[in-house]
A and B are shown apart, each in its own frame.
Chain A
Amino acid sequence: MSDGMETEQGPEAAAIVLRGVHKWYGQFHVLKNIDLTVQNGERIVICGPSGSGKSTLIRCINRLEEHQQGEILVEGIKLTDDLKRIDEIRSEVGMVFQQFNLFPHKTILENCALAPIRVRKMPRKDAEELAMQYLERVKIPEQADKYPAQLSGGQQQRVAIARALCMNPRIMLFDEPTSALDPEMIKEVLDVMIELAEEGMTMIVVTHEMGFARTVADRIIFMDGGEIIEDAPPQKFFEAPESERTKEFLAQIL
C-alpha cells in the first residue's frame, strides 16, 4: 500500500470513508466491496443476520481486523500497517464491545483512567477527575472503587462507555452493546447511548435494537453475506426498503 501519510483535509472531510473494502478469513469472503462514508456527527446503525460481517466491518475501522483490499480512511488518515498511525487512530476512536471487556483486575476508576494516563500521558490526578466526570455522566460515580465483577452487566457496559469516552474520542463504535445484557438492563445502556447521540457524537452502532435505530439513527445499514444490502434513513428503511432480503429480515425481527 502507500506510505500511510496520505490525508484528505478540508471542512467537508468525512469521519470515516471505506472504499471497495474486501476481507477474507482464509477462504471465507467476509466483507465484499464495502463502500461507506460516515460524516462527522452522523449516527449509523448496522444490522443484519449473524455472520453477515457487521462486526467485522466496524472492527476493521480501528484495525482490530485487517482488510486485504480497498482503503479505509478515519478522520482523513489512511489505515495502513504503520503501527504509530494505528495507535493514533485508535486513541481517537472509542469502542464498546458486546462482552464489555472491562479489566477485571483494575477498579472501575482505574479502568477509566488507564488510557488517558498511559496514552495521553495525562497526570494521574487529572485523569481520575476526568474519569469521575464520565462516570457521573453514565450515572455510576458511586461504583468507582469497585471491581468490574461486583457490578451488574448494565453497569459494566456503562463503565465501558465511560472508559471509551475518557479518551475524548471523535468517533464511537458499538459492537452489539446490549446483546449480552439481561432484558431489564438494556434500557439503561441505550439511554446513555441516546444521550451521547444527542450531543452530536459520530457513532456507528451494530445492534438489533430496532427501537434505538428508529429514534437515533440518521441512516440504517442492512448487511447480509458480507455485503451492504440496504442503506437508508430509518423511515425509508422500515417503511419502504428496496431489497426483498431486507423486508424478509424486518419481518423476522419486528
Chain B
Amino acid sequence: MSEMYRAGEHPDLPPPVETSGVRRWLRANLFSSVLSSLTTLVLAGFILWILKSALIWGMLEADFFGASFRDCASAGACWAVASARFPQYWFGFFYPSAQYWRPLLAFALLSVAVAPWLSESIKYRRELKIFSLFYPLIALLLLYGGAGLAIVETDRWGGFLLTLVIGVVGIVASLPIGILLALGRRSEMPVVRTLCVVFIEIVRGVPLITVLFTASVLLPLFLPDGMSFNKLLRVLIMVSLFASAYMAEIVRGGLAAIPPGQEEAARAMGLGYWQTMGLIVLPQALRIVIPGIVSSFIGLFKDTSLVAIVGLYDLLGLTQAILKETGWMGVKIEAYVFIGAIFWICCFSMSRYAKHLEEKLKRGHV
C-alpha cells in the first residue's frame, strides 16, 4: 500500500472488446424490456401498414397517364394530372413551348454557375466563378429574351421555373443584404444602427403575405403616374428584403459568438474594418450559423409558394389553377403530393449539402 508509484508502471492497454453489433444494438434500443418490445412491435406494424397503403394507393392501383380525371379509372392515385401537364409544371401555362429549350438551358447553366461555390475540388473553379457572376445576365437573356431571342414576358413564366427564379434570387440576394444589415445593427454609427434595427424589426413583424400584397397592390399607387414596374420584379424585391431581415438576425447570432479578441487582433495589425470583417470575423461567424442560414434558405424556398396569392403561377398557383379545370375535378391530393415532392427534393438537397459543408469545415480547423 505504501509503495511509491513509479513512472512507466502503467503501460498503454488496448481498449476493452467492442461492445457494439447489430444484435446488441437491437436489444439495447428496441427490445430492452417487455414494454419496449411491445412498443416496438406495435409501431413497426403501424409503419408497415401505412407503407403498404401508400404503396397500393400510389403505385399498384394508380393511373399514371391520361388526358383528364375520367381516364383515371382505378381506385388509387391519379398521377395523370402530373404527367399530362408535365411541361407546364416546369415552365408555366403560357411559356411558348417552342422556347422550352431556353429555360432548360438556363437550368443547366445554373448548375454550372452554382457548382464552383459548392465544391472546392471542381476543375476550372476560377473560370466558373467568373461565369457565375455573369450568369444572372445570361439567365435573364435566356428566359426573357432579347438579342435575337423572342421576348417572353415575365407574366408568362410559371411553374417550377418561377419558383426557382424567386427562390434563387431570394437566396442569392438575402445573404449579402442580411450580412450588411447584421453588421449595420452592430455598427457604432447611430444612424446606420437605427436604420438597420428599424428595417429588421418592421420586416420581421409582418407576415410575408402582407408584404407581397403591399408590393402588388399598394406600391403602384405610390409610384408616379405612368411609372409601373414589373410585378415579378416587385415580388423578387419584396421576397429578398423579407428574407434579408431574417438572415440579418441569423448572422448577428454568429457575429455575437465570435470572441471580441478576434476583431481586436485584426485591428491591432492594421487591418481596416472591412478587411477585419471580411477576412476574420465573417468567415468564422457564418461557419457557425450554416444550419440557420440553410434553414432560412429552405424556408424562403417554400415561402415562394405564397406568391400564388398575388396571382403568380408558381408551382402552387399553377396547381391550384389546374385543379379548377373541369377535366381535373375530383383530383386533389395527387397534384399537391407531386409538387410537395418537388419542393422536398430541393429542400432536402439543400439540407444535405449544408450537413456536408458543416462536416467539411469542422475538419478544416479541428
Contacts and interface: CB of A to CB of B under 8 A. Distances in A.
B320 interface: no
Contacts of A167: 269-270
A91 B364 contact: no
Contact of A64 (B262, B264, B271, B275): B264
Contacts of B272: 83, 87
B275 A118 contact: yes
B268 A114 contact: no
A5 interface: no
B267, B268, B271, B275 pick with most chain A CB within 10 angstroms:
B268
B269, B279, B283 pick with most chain A CB within 10 angstroms:
B269
Interface stretch (A13-21, A99-107, A196-204, A241-249): A99-107
Contact count band on B? 20 to 34
A179 B287 CA distance: 30
A118 B365 contact: no
A64 B287 contact: no
A150 B265 contact: no
Interface in B271-330: 271-272, 275, 279-280, 283-284, 287
Contact of B270 (A97, A99, A119): A119
A90 B366 CA distance: 31
B269 A64 contact: no
Interface in A80-111: 83, 87-88, 90-91, 93-95, 97, 99, 101-105
Contact of B261 (A91, A94, A101, A150): A101
A102 B269 CA distance: 12
B248 to A, nearest CB: 22
A147 interface: yes
Given A147-B365, A149-B365, A101 B265 contact: yes
Contact of B265 (A91, A103, A118): A103
Interface string B235-269: 00000000000000000000000010110111111
B269 A164 contact: yes
Given A105-B283, A105-B364, A90 B270 contact: yes
A36 interface: no
Contacts of B262: 101, 103
Contact of A119 (B264, B271, B365): B271
Contact of A62 (B261, B268, B365): B268
Contacts of A88: 270
A104 to B, nearest CB: 5
Contact of A90 (B261, B267, B284, B287): B267
A115 interface: yes
Contacts of B265: 95, 97, 101-103, 160
Contacts of B259: 99, 101
A17 to B, nearest CB: 20
Contacts of B287: 105
Given A99-B261, A101-B262, A118 B271 contact: yes
A62 B267 CA distance: 9
Contact count band on A? 20 to 34
Interface string A59-87: 00010100000000000000000010001
B366 A64 contact: no
B269 A114 contact: yes
B283 to A, nearest CB: 5
B280 A103 contact: yes
A164 B264 CA distance: 13
Given A105-B364, A105-B365, A147-B365, A115 B271 contact: yes
Interface in B73-123: none
Contacts of B275: 118
Given A90-B269, A101-B261, A149 B366 contact: yes
A167 B365 CA distance: 25
Contacts of B284: 103-105
A115 B279 CA distance: 11
A163 B280 CA distance: 15
Nearest to A146: B366
B259, B262, B264, B366 pick with most chain A CB within 10 angstroms:
B264
A64 B270 CA distance: 11
B55 to A, nearest CB: 48
Interface in A137-151: 147-150
B284 to A, nearest CB: 5
A177 to B, nearest CB: 13
A97 B284 CA distance: 19
Contacts of B364: 105, 147
A73 B366 CA distance: 42
A119 B266 CA distance: 11
Contacts of B269: 90-91, 94, 114-115, 119, 163-164, 167
Interface of A: 62, 64, 83, 87-88, 90-91, 93-95, 97, 99, 101-105, 114-115, 118-119, 147-150, 160, 163-164, 167
Q: Which 7 A-B pairs have the closest CB atoms?
A: A91-B270, A101-B265, A115-B269, A101-B261, A147-B365, A95-B268, A90-B270
23 contacts: A64-B264, A64-B268, A83-B272, A87-B270, A87-B272, A90-B267, A90-B268, A94-B268, A94-B269, A95-B268, A97-B264, A101-B261, A101-B262, A102-B265, A104-B284, A105-B283, A105-B284, A118-B275, A118-B279, A119-B269, A119-B271, A147-B366, A149-B365
Given A95-B268, A119-B269, 13 more contacts: A62-B268, A90-B268, A91-B270, A97-B264, A101-B261, A101-B265, A103-B262, A103-B284, A104-B365, A114-B269, A114-B279, A118-B275, A167-B269
